[in-house]
Structure 1
Amino acid sequence: MRKFVLFYLLLFAAAYSFAQTKNFIDQPYLETNARADTLVTPDRIYLNITITEKDSKGRNSVEEQENKMARSFRNLGIDLDKQLVIDDLSSSFKKYFLRQKDVLKSKRYVLLVYTGKQAAQALVALEELDIANTYLQKTEYSKMDALELDLKSKAVIKAKKKAVALTTPLGQKVGIAIHISDTSTPYYPRYNERAELKTMAMDAMGEPEPLDLDFEKIKVETAVDVKFILE
């Protein structure tokens, strides 16, 4: 008896689901799609910096170079606690012709700056300290989530306008939306494969001055598909 009841319940559920699908298909509707995009300037710029112990008789240790770098960054108004982190610490052994072993240390950091000007100033400071192993790691836009939501809203509004434009000549009206699909591709931070950066330009007197770096703008795009009932 229970199996018999269960069979009819499953049959009823399947019939109800089919009826719902059929009702949806039978309704007159219009499907439109729309995109919304914009360009934004990155406001989170990550520089990868490597300090290596100088392989010379009067060697400058990693710690000495690190302290000099920290002073230079503070003079630029950089908050070391929030903007500078250690990314990697390593040592390597190098054999000399006298078969002596010496430990050469290196330390890698990631510096976060918020403008192209601040990035240029940091690069000039590193150049003056003879720390040349620096490259652009990635760029981001800090308000990306809010921007994407705003663009999705604009895309839906645009889809509605397209639907109205298509139906007005036919004397029909656009009703409620019965299906909305977000077909946007998620945004991911832009990583740079060791992109080299020029650190200095020369002024008329031959003195180094910061370049006004102009980072490539980030294109953000959203897309939606919307089905509207036709009245």
Structure 2
Amino acid sequence: MHALILAGTTEARALATALTATGMRVTTSLAGRVREPKPLPGDLRTGGFGGPDGLARWMREHHVTALLDATHPFATRISENAAEAARRTGIQLIALRRPGWTPIPGDRWHSVRTLDEAAALLPTLGRRVFLTTGRLGLHAFVPQGEAHDLWFLIRSVEEPDPPTPHACQVLLDRGPFTIDGERALLREHRIDVLVTKDSGGPATAAKLTAARELGLPVVVVRRPDPPAGVRTAPDVDTVLALLSPAAADTYP
């Protein structure tokens, strides 16, 4: 069997480790947005495939028998391309999606569908914003027309793509983060509202606890649904259980 992992999450690394330990051939694909990725077990490729056509062609040429989508829950384009490529080739596809976050008593969450909705809501909630939605899509927070007086602390792993809000400070950092560290960060920058995507997982969940303890509102961008008909798994063990031996016979 040859598994192609579409990576971008910590679960992708754990999945590659688990599969190579079984003796399976594993290729992990990274989009190439992180300049210095950590070493991964098995083979590694970087860069795009050229849409569903290119992905299907690559899988046929390299005799892939299982396609595992372990990308970020908000990486909708590659997930849609994976679903279409799997449909065209008949190759087994499993999407690894860690469970999303759920509010608990004391949380002051405001659920929105998009970054644009989050940006529109902010002036009603606070003026100093901790923005943790990643380095893409920050143009949604650049004022259009009538200017606002918001200030942003933007945290991302890599330097954000322009345009970014005019009044901002960029903090380059990578999780996991601690509750003590997040609490201190919120206090140091006098943050009064947090914006995040519902990426799930423990690595960046400490900010939610710190915001709850400090009584801060949190704007949560809901994750999109996976493509229709795609089988999903919440963790690595479930993916391993779902990988059918019959997948070895999928390639014609």
Fold conserved between structures, TM > 0.5? no
Using the size of structure 2 for normalisation, the TM-score is 0.23
Q: Give the TM-score normalised by structure 1.
A: 0.24
Greater Rg, structure 1 or structure 2? 1
Q: Which structure has more strand as a fraction of its residues?
A: 1
Q: Does 1 or 2 have the higher relative contact order (CA < 8 Å, sep 6+)? A: 1
